[in-house]
Amino acid sequence: MAKIAFFGLGNMGGPMAVNLLAAGHQLSVYDPFVKSLDKFTNDRVAVDKDKITVAETPASAVEDAEYIVSMLPTGKHVVDLYVGNEQTPGIIQHINKSALIIDSSTIDVDSVKSVHAYAQQHGIEMLDAPVSGGVSAAQAGTLTFMCGASQENFERAKTVLSGMGKNVFLAGDTGAGQIAKMCNNMLLAVHMAGTAESLKLGINNGLDPAVLSQIMLQSSGSNWSLEKYNPAPGVMANAPASHDFKPGFTVELMLKDLGLALQNSVSTKSSVPMGALARNLYASYGSQDDANAKLDFSSIWKMF
Ligand code: NAD
């Protein structure tokens, strides 16, 4: 079993860390946001107190760590953590040369490449391993990991990733995991918006959205948003739609991902008309009311 430093105990990182404990690993955790840290420690310290250290500083979290896992909001958070900024130095200098960094945050490829290059200058290996599946899959330990790494680092990372996910893929070299994730989430935004609009059209014609969902699930309109994350309130008891759109995966995080896809489409001269439409829809919805940005992304339902 491995000694793991874990950074970012939010909606995703919290349950992922819990699964690493359940897999028998020893964890040193750090999160500057008291609410995230408290939720994790309240849930786990009593149960797993011999396996958890709550670190006072990022540097102390990585002492003796064989693996470092980060699950942070944006590329800036990841660069600040490892490389540092004008106010705070990064943690690379404190990491053992034999340790492996696994960043599972969804971030831009340039940030991945800059942290990877900086880590290599210090003799440390790193891979990008963003995830798909959302909070429920993080809780169930059934996430899909998409890795950008050498074959050797990919094999090393599997020891840890298999404790948090069901599917672990090697997409290609450094940054390739983020590209796979970006393509996936652009498609997710498109089918979530399309699912909401179709269900609303049915309701406006007097259909019950639960019945319409059952029909479409057995028909050619079937998709993940309809099956696992239905945006119509009341259709699926544990979907965010049935809990006032409490996240889950926030509108602002989806907007971040769509922004990454559109930026990349410019640099690769790719045509992404559906992704652009989905981004504009989410941007318009997110700016209608500040509160919308903090709701689950399935709340795009309210636009229709
Ligand atoms: P979140 O905002 O709930 O959690 C992020 C956590 O990181 C917060 O608790 C924050 O305090 C912490 N943090 C920030 N800087 C830190 C630092 N330097 N050290 C330690 N902790 C730090 O976000 P989330 O929903 O858990 O998402 C995390 C990442 O996973 C994002 O990149 C997101 O795009 C991606 N993602 C989210 C989902 C989802 O359904 N929520 C699904 C797939 C991927």
**Interval 274-289: pLDDT, tens:** 999 999 999 999 988 8
49 is catalytic: no
Q: Which residues pair with 30 in a beta bridge?
A: 7
Per-residue confidence (pLDDT) for residue 49, from 0 to 100 = 78
Given the residues 76, 158, 181, 256, select the one marked as catalytic: 181
Sorted by where each starts, the structural domains of the chain and their CATH numbers stand as 3-172 (3.40.50.720), 179-303 (1.10.1040.10)
Across 88-97, average pLDDT: 97
**Mean pLDDT across the stretch 62-75?**
97
Q: Whose CA is nearest to atom 9 of ligand 1?
A: 10
* Residue 110: how many other CB atoms lie within 10 Å: 15
pLDDT at 189: 98
Calculate mean pLDDT across residues 115-129. 98
Indicate whether 268 pLDDT > 90: yes
In the structure encoding, which two tokens stand for residue 259, read together? 């922004």
165 CB near ligand 1 (under 6 Å): no
Q: Measured from the CA of 134, which atom of ligand 1 is nearest?
A: 40
**What number is the average pLDDT over the span 270-274?**
98
- The pLDDT of residue 98 is 97
Q: What is the mean pLDDT of residues 240-258?
A: 95
Q: What is the pLDDT of residues 166-210, one digit of tens each?
A: 999 999 999 999 999 999 999 999 999 999 999 999 999 999 999
Binned at pLDDT 50, 70 and 90, residue 234 comes out as very high
Quote the mean pLDDT of the chain. 96
Residues 243-249, mean pLDDT to the nearest whole number: 95
Q: Tell me, using a 6 A CB cutoff, whether residue 128 lines ligand 1.
A: no
Does the beta carbon of 131 lie inside 6 Å of ligand 1?
A: yes
* pLDDT at residue 235, as a whole number: 98
* Helix and strand counts by DSSP (H, E) for the chain: 13, 9
pLDDT band for 164, please (50, 70, 90 cuts): very high
Q: What angle do CA 62, 18, 102 make, to 5 degrees?
A: 45
- Determine if ligand 1 sits within 6 Å of the CB of residue 33: yes
- Beta strand segments in the chain, E: 3-7, 26-30, 52-54, 67-70, 100-103, 125-128, 131-132, 143-148, 165-172
pLDDT of the residue at 293: 96
Q: What is the CA radius of gyration of the chain?
A: 20
Rounded Cα distance, 143 and 71, in Å: 13
Q: Is the CB of 72 under 6 A from ligand 1?
A: yes
Task: Give residue 277 CA to ligand 1 midpoint distance, Å.
Answer: 26
**Spacing, Cα 129 to ligand 1 middle (Å):** 14
Residue 32 Cβ < 6 Å to ligand 1: yes
Top-confidence residue, 48 or 97: 97
Cis status, amide bond into 248, omega within 30 of 0: yes
Per mean pLDDT, which range of 42-51, 95-104, 163-172 is the poorest? 42-51
| Position with higher pLDDT, 259 vs 46 | 259
The pLDDT of residue 45: 66
What would the two tokens of residue 135 be?
Answer: 């909070």
Asked if residue 148 has its Cβ within 6 Å of ligand 1, the reply is no
Percent of the chain at pLDDT > 70 equals: 99
Q: How many CB atoms lie within 10 A of CB 88?
A: 10
**How far apart are the CA of 35 and the centre of ligand 1, in A?**
13
- What pLDDT does 134 receive? 86
Contact 63/28 with Cβ under 8 angstroms?
A: yes
The string over 258-267, giving b where at least 16 C-beta atoms fall within 10 Å of a residue's C-beta and e elsewhere, is bebbbebbee
Distance of alpha carbon 301 from alpha carbon 192, whole angstroms: 9
Ligand 1: which of 71, 83, 229 to mutate, most ligand atoms within 8 Å of CB? 71
Best probe residue, ligand 1, of 19, 30, 31 (max atoms within 8 Å of C-beta):
31
Q: Which of 10-24, 35-49, 67-81, 182-196 has the lowest mean pLDDT?
A: 35-49
**Other C-beta atoms within 10 Å of 66: how many?**
18
Q: Which of 72, 101, 228 to mutate to test the pocket of ligand 1 (most atoms within 8 A of CB)?
A: 72
Name the H helices within 83-208: 109-121, 134-140, 151-161, 176-204
Backbone angles phi, psi at 64, to 5 degrees: 65, 0
User: Is the CB of residue 145 below 6 angstroms from any atom belonging to ligand 1?
Assistant: no
**CB atoms < 10 A from the CB of 303, how many?**
15
Band of pLDDT at residue 41, cut at 50, 70 and 90 = confident
Q: Give the pLDDT score at 290.
A: 87
Substitution site in 33, 78, 132 for ligand 1 pocket (most atoms within 8 Å of beta carbon): 33
Tell me what pLDDT residue 82 has: 98
Give CA angle at 272 (261, 203), nearest 5°. Answer: 95
Torsion of CA 63, 173, 12, 65, to 10 degrees: -10
Atom of ligand 1 nearest to the CA of 107: 32
Task: Kindly state the average pLDDT of the residues 224-233.
Answer: 97
pLDDT of 46 higher than 80? no
- Which tokens sit at 206? 């007097």
